[in-house]
Structure 1
Amino acid sequence: MTREPRYALLKPHTLRDLMGRTGDGSEISGRALAREVGVPHGTIEGLLNGKTTTQPASVARAICRVIGIDVGCLWAETGRKVPDETAGEASGVTA
């Protein structure tokens, strides 16, 4: 089974700023964003406070859809140049 690509959040403060004025000009709270995206509230809080830095591509895209921006404005696909902090967790390897 192929693992879904992960995206790294480039700037948590930018996500917070964009939540203050979404594509339609409205504001969205972390709880409302989580509900719209279909993730636990803690996922959004972790992104905003920097404790979580990556998400599956589907979550990154959903966040951008809800706030009305292109995915590249906030996220970079993990790979050789953008590390995935969860890579070791999936294989059982720890740093």
Structure 2
Amino acid sequence: MVLVSADLLVQLMKRTGDGREVSVRDLAEAAGCHPSKVDALRNGRRKKSSLDEALAIAKRLGVDLLVLWEHTGRTVEAPAEPLHMAAVPA
């Protein structure tokens, strides 16, 4: 997942869905990651996070996932083609 905006994350941390501020440490604990990762997201040094972390962060802040995050790449990995069915050069 890619963070939509570091500024938006900062604003949402100042006033969560329940109206209270959340610290970097508290948000990291909710997401199950190191506080330095949350700090890097806040400061724009990092933009990507795993789906599980993104979901946990959005939930802790009281917003829908896609308010704060964008999907990247394929959401479901394409099945591998069996070797016996692989294309052969002409």
TM-score of Structure 1 vs Structure 2, range by shorter chain: 0.7 to 0.9
- Which residue type is aligned with residue 14 of structure 1? L
Tell me the number of residue pairs that the alignment of Structure 1 and Structure 2 aligns: 74
Q: Which has the higher strand share?
A: 1
Greater than 3 Å deviation, 4+ residue runs = none
TM-score normalised according to structure 2 size: 0.78
User: Aligned match of 2:70 in 76, 79, 86?
Assistant: 76
SS class of match (2:49): strand
Q: How many percent of aligned residue pairs carry the same amino acid?
A: 38
TM-score normalised according to structure 1 size: 0.74
In structure 1, the residue matched to 2:40 is 46
CA RMSD of aligned residues (A): 1.1
Gaps of 5+ in 1: 1-6, 81-95
- Distance in 2 (CA, whole Å) between partners of 1:79 and 1:15 is 22
User: Aligned match of 1:57 in 51, 54, 74?
Assistant: 51
Superposed displacement of residue 59, structure 1: 0.5
Gaps of 5+ in 2: 75-90
The answer to whether the 8 A contact 2:31-2:52 is kept is no
